[in-house]
Chains A and B, each alone.
Chain A
Amino acid sequence: MSRILAALTILLALLVAASLALGDVSLTWRDIYHATTGTGDADPQSVMIVFDLRLPRVLLALLVGVALATAGTITLAIMRNPLAEPGVLGINSGAAAAAMAVIVLIQDPPVALLQAAGFLGAAAMALAVYALAWRGSTSSLRIILIGIGLSSLATAGTTFLSAFGDIGSVQRAMIWLAGSVYDANMVKVRLLALWLIIPVMLAFLASRELDLICFGDNYARSLGQPVDRVRGMMIVLVTVLSGAAVAVSGLIGFVGLVAPHVARRLVGASHARIFPVAALIGACLVVAADLIGRIVLPPLQLPAGIVTGLVGAPFFAYLLWGRRHGHE
């Protein structure tokens, strides 16, 4: 466990360092060292590149990764379905529909409004899914089915708006939806960090509840767990976490699905162990995706969401394949 954590931390540190060094203007290790410590003859231009451009961006990617992985871990546990990720609660499609509406209906909206709309859309959808799935108690299957239904409804709304909206606005919305951390700044980083700290801690504290709810509603209840209350509170945490991630970075897929699965394979079924490992994996994935998106086709920047999709899908297939053959 501690070996895995150490290895992942080193990997993350390397990715962060590489993200600071690589880009349109490549910096040497010495430049970065001088820029970050403020020692020697720090070149003002490299100081600017490191602190104003690359550092906020890499930190934002890291935080988004942690949020997505934590939300994914919770969703996997409460839905008891290996393919469940925060998207099944309608969070992504809700955020997308709300953001599209704001962009198309209001000419040139401020970014903050866009983010608020994204978060509210996500929260409204999660609430609607949970409320519609309630029949005296909750069932994970009902939540998944209603989530899929409402998601397609919201997606239809998004498509409708994009078909009739002004082409320039629609394109801006599409870029936002593709999932990227390109317009990062330190204020955003601090806000997201503050926003995430409590839900991430609460999720970690709830590890034992998640361990038990994995057994299924009947068993969890027979051992004294108030299943509906726990599931409801966990859905709130998922909404707060991934709603915030979607609001600042658009739709970055696969991280919420891949990170908890990989973590589980590495450290077993206990959530107290899964959470830190999944969070580090999520951070590595998004930081790496953003780095790759910036450097493969310069000066073009691929949105991180597209890279995670491109890298995540085959990786996930490989995982499933390995599980099929490694089982016996």
Chain B
Amino acid sequence: MATNKDPAAKIASKGLDIAYGQRRIVGGLDLVIPAQRFTALIGPNGSGKSTILRTFAALMKPSHGSILLDGRDLRGLSTRDVARKVGVLLQGAVAPEGLTVGDLVRQGRYPHRSLFSRWSAEDQTAVDEALMLTGTADLADRALDSLSGGQRQRAWIAMTLAQQGEAILLDEPTTYLDLEHQVELMNLITMLVEKHRKTVVAVLHDINQAARYAEHIVVLKDGRITAAGKPEAVITAETIADVFKVKTVVIRDPVAGTPLCIPL
């Protein structure tokens, strides 16, 4: 594995068209999500980032084309099969009133349980591990609506971890968080990818955040890929000007050495 420079694809789409009714959002998308890497999807509003994420999680059906998850066609998998492989954190997730963090994370075991199966030791281990990894073990008995935005976000990520899928899809996980909690969350993602071999795909709004933390960046415009690859290769003044219509200077981040773009 260590010498594998071109890791296998976790999720791949071929000729993917996605539409809301008659309006086509994504057209002819050939996208590869490398396994055990942190991939960021960036692009202006309406570029189809969230739609792609939802389609990868089988929450939307593509109008054309196919999606391969671990090399298997998504259409051949049941929602339960998909839920065992892929966890999703959507924007504006709302839990029922009064629910505790523990209750929330336990829901992550749903795809692993049958109607009559009891709560198993395996379920408990998965939940404990998810709470520990996200640093939410102390909050397990707290009501979700009593937590700060950052804590709540980590609790939701814990739920997706309890699913024990290898891939986690996050839709703008850092939006509305203050800087401290943004950094905390990005470090959590990095840790999950590096130490626990998760494949993480996140839609991010902050280009510099994507450049700093992600290993693979996909830049989208009008439902098509403009550029994809390592941050150094993708984040250039030309690409940013083309996609975001903003003139920038790209310099080296003095701390991490990654590209840092500064609007003119």
Among B79, B84, B88, B95, which residue has its beta carbon within 8 angstroms of that of A225?
Answer: B79
Cα–Cα, bound, A223→B90 (Å): 12
The answer to whether A212 touches B90, judged by C-beta atoms less than 8 angstroms apart, is no
B175 to nearest A CB, angstroms? Answer: 17
B136 to nearest A CB, angstroms? Answer: 18
Residue A309 interfacial (CB < 8 Å): no
Residue A208 interfacial (CB < 8 Å): yes
Cα–Cα, bound, A223→B82 (Å): 8
- B residues contacting the other copy or chain, number (CB 8 A): 31
**B223 proximity list for chain A (CB < 8 A):** none
Residue B111 interfacial (CB < 8 Å): yes
A148 to nearest B CB, angstroms? Answer: 24
Would you list which residues of chain B between 157 and 213 have a CB under 8 Å from chain A? 163
The answer to whether B93 touches A269, judged by C-beta atoms less than 8 angstroms apart, is no
The answer to whether A224 touches B99, judged by C-beta atoms less than 8 angstroms apart, is no
- The answer to whether residues A223 and B98 also contact, given A218-B59, A270-B103 and a CB cut-off of 8 A, is no
Among A205, A214, A223, A264, which residue has its beta carbon within 8 angstroms of that of B111?
Answer: A223
- The answer to whether residues A222 and B115 also contact, given A211-B107, A215-B95, A269-B97 and a CB cut-off of 8 A, is no
**Which A residue sits closest to B144, measured CB to CB?**
A269
Residue B254 interfacial (CB < 8 Å): no
Residue B34 interfacial (CB < 8 Å): no
**A223 proximity list for chain B (CB < 8 A):** 83, 107-108, 110-111, 163
Residue A172 interfacial (CB < 8 Å): no
Question: Which secondary structure characterizes the binding site on chain B?
Answer: loop
The answer to whether B99 touches A269, judged by C-beta atoms less than 8 angstroms apart, is yes
Residue A165 interfacial (CB < 8 Å): no
The answer to whether B110 touches A216, judged by C-beta atoms less than 8 angstroms apart, is no
Cα–Cα, bound, A225→B116 (Å): 15
**B94 proximity list for chain A (CB < 8 A):** 215-216
- The answer to whether residues A214 and B96 also contact, given A222-B90, A269-B103 and a CB cut-off of 8 A, is yes
**A221 proximity list for chain B (CB < 8 A):** 58-59, 79
**Which B residue sits closest to A77, measured CB to CB?**
B96
**B88 proximity list for chain A (CB < 8 A):** 219, 222
Cα–Cα, bound, A216→B107 (Å): 13
Among A205, A224, A269, which residue has its beta carbon within 8 angstroms of that of B110?
Answer: A224
**A232 proximity list for chain B (CB < 8 A):** none
Would you list which residues of chain A between 194 and 226 have a CB under 8 Å from chain B? 205, 208, 211-212, 214-216, 218-219, 221-226
A277 to nearest B CB, angstroms? Answer: 14
Cα–Cα, bound, A225→B107 (Å): 11
Residue B74 interfacial (CB < 8 Å): no
New A-B pairs, 15, CB < 8 Å, besides A212-B110, A224-B83: A205-B116, A212-B107, A214-B96, A215-B93, A215-B95, A215-B107, A218-B54, A219-B88, A222-B83, A223-B110, A224-B79, A224-B80, A224-B110, A268-B98, A270-B103
Give the interface of A toward B (CB within 8 A).
205, 208, 211-212, 214-216, 218-219, 221-226, 264, 268-270
**Could you list 13 examples of A-B contacts with CB < 8 Å?**
A208-B110, A208-B113, A211-B107, A212-B107, A218-B54, A219-B90, A222-B90, A224-B78, A224-B80, A224-B81, A264-B98, A269-B98, A270-B103
